[in-house]
């Protein structure tokens, strides 16, 4: 699992060294900055899950650092723990007024600090889940509206365009315009199909299944597209994986959408799709890697959001895969490097509590 990232912004080297060593020993990842300006620069580069921020610092004090973080919509909800001098009530109040999430007076007890870190990270995670639930609800309402309002007109437009095209002679210059209309209608129909698929993922039939078999079926389904796009496939599937309870068709569809996404991403000379499976702790881990164009760092965290991608149908495919995996109490994460490719990692629990 990914480690939570904590940024320490403090000008006292001894305090930084102590926090770095103890936080890393407790399983956190850390980065450090020694003044306010460096803290803001490091924040943008490191993208932490939480900030431990001293008030009294050179160049830019902690008040201004906290104020800027809380005024920015993209960083507002990253928890900030403010370190103040013992008995400095005014600084404590000011820090909380400008958006600090908690405070600790120096000299502090490390056990108390790490308890507050755990609490704030837990609140942050719950907020994230709540936002995802709200987004899912909004998405489902949108799916109903789009499917109802757009599907019937599309059928009419596509049907008449095809009929008119068939009635024209082969040399008629209007045929090329009608061909474009039909192609765009097919793209929209493909999008509607994915919206309906997303809506129906709540209905599933689960049974013990071999994940390797499902992976092989998904690859076979996309074999013509892989060959057409000159994509080589390499698999490293761990033998004798334990069967897990899944909806075979839904999980296969999730893998298929990730394979489709990989094919679309590969426009380089080297086109290699790597798919692996293994047991990791109490999970089966599947990695789907491509040698595609990669995803910019600033877009990586939103890549599973259907409204963020420039390719709506691709975005819906990834969202569909995410929803299926989450319905199976699993997770999807993504790593990417521009010009080198992306890796999607799916983790599905071997044993599910209460089942």
For residue 328, give the nearest of 298, 350, 305 by alpha carbon. 350
Q: Is residue 128 part of a domain?
A: no
Q: Which residues pair with 105 in a beta bridge?
A: 84
pLDDT confidence of residue 151: 76
CA–CA distances in Å: residue 8 to residues 111, 114, 320: 16, 13, 37
CATH number, residue 274: 3.30.565.10
Asked if the model's pLDDT at residue 143 lies above 70, the reply is no
How much is the pLDDT for 91? 75
Residue 352 pLDDT greater than 50, yes or no: no
Q: Provide the pLDDT confidence category of residue 149 given band limits of 50, 70 and 90.
A: confident
Q: Do 183 and 251 lie in a common domain?
A: no
The phi and psi torsions of 265 (rounded to 5 degrees) equal: -80, -20
Question: Is this structure's pTM higher than 0.75?
Answer: no
In a domain, residue 114? The reply is: no
Q: Are 287 and 216 contained in the same domain?
A: yes
**Hey, which residues does 280 pair with through a beta bridge?**
283
Please provide the average confidence, as pLDDT, over all residues in the chain. 84
Average pLDDT over residues 85-102: 80
Host domain of residue 314: 207-349
Strand ranges (E), the chain: 5-9, 29-33, 50-54, 80-85, 102-106, 207-209, 232-237, 244-246, 272-280, 283-289, 331-337, 341-349
- Say if residue 219 is in the same domain as residue 193: no
**Domain-embedded: residue 180:** yes
Higher pLDDT, 297 or 106: 106
Whether 126 is covered by a domain: the verdict is: no
Under 8 Å between Cβ of 32 and 8? yes
Whether residue 160 is contained in a domain is answered as yes
Please name the residue that has the structure tokens 């926090």: 19
Dist CA 252 CA 213 (whole Å): 9
Task: Decide if 241 contacts 279 (C-beta within 8 A).
Answer: yes
Q: Could you tell me if 227 and 343 lie in one domain?
A: yes
- Total tally of structural domains belonging to the chain: 3
Q: Is residue 119 part of a domain?
A: no
Residue 120 lies in a domain: no
**Do both 57 and 182 map to the same domain?**
no
User: Among the listed ranges 170-184, 229-243, 313-327, which one has the minimum average pLDDT value?
Assistant: 313-327
Same domain, 98 and 166: no
Six-digit token pair at 237? Answer: 């599937």
pLDDT of 204 reads 64
State pLDDT tens for residues 74-84.
888 899 999 88
At residue 66, the pLDDT reads 92
pLDDT in tens, 12-67: 999 999 999 999 999 999 999 999 899 999 999 998 999 999 988 888 888 899 99
pLDDT at 26: 92
């Amino acid at each position: 699992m990914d480690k939570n990232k904590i940024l320490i912004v403090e000008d006292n080297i001894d305090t930084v060294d102590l926090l770095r060593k103890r936080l890393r020993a407790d399983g956190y990842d850390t980065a450090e900055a020694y003044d306010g300006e460096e803290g803001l620069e490091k924040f943008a580069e490191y993208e932490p899950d939480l900030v431990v921020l001293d008030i009294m610092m050179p160049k830019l004090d902690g008040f201004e650092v906290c104020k800027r973080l809380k005024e920015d919509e993209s960083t507002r909800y990253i928890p900030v723990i403010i370190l103040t001098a013992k008995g400095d009530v005014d600084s404590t109040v000011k820090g909380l007024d400008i958006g600090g999430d908690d405070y600790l007076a120096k000299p502090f007890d490390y056990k108390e600090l790490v308890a507050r870190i755990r609490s704030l990270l837990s609140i942050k995670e719950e907020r994230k889940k709540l936002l995802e639930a709200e987004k899912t609800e909004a998405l489902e309402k949108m799916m109903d509206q789009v499917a109802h309002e757009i599907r019937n007109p599309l059928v009419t437009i596509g049907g008449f365009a095809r009929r008119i095209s068939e009635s024209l002679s082969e040399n008629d210059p209007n045929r090329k315009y009608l061909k474009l209309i039909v192609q765009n209608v097919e793209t929209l129909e493909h999008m509607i199909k994915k919206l309906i698929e997303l809506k129906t993922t709540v209905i599933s039939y689960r049974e013990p299944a071999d994940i390797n078999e499902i992976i092989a079926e998904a690859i076979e389904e996309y074999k013509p597209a892989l060959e057409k796009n000159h994509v080589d496939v390499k698999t490293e599937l761990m033998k004798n994986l334990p069967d897990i309870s899944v909806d075979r068709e839904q999980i296969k569809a999730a893998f298929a959408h990730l394979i489709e996404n990989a094919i679309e991403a590969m426009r380089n000379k080297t086109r290699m799709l790597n798919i692996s499976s293994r047991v990791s702790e109490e999970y089966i881990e599947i990695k789907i890697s491509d040698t595609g164009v990669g995803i910019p760092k600033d877009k990586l965290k939103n890549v599973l959001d259907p409204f963020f991608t420039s390719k709506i149908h691709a975005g819906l495919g990834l969202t569909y895969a995410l929803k299926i995996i989450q319905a199976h109490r699993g997770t999807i994460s993504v790593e990417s490097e521009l010009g080198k490719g992306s890796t999607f990692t799916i983790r599905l629990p071997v044993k599910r509590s209460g089942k």
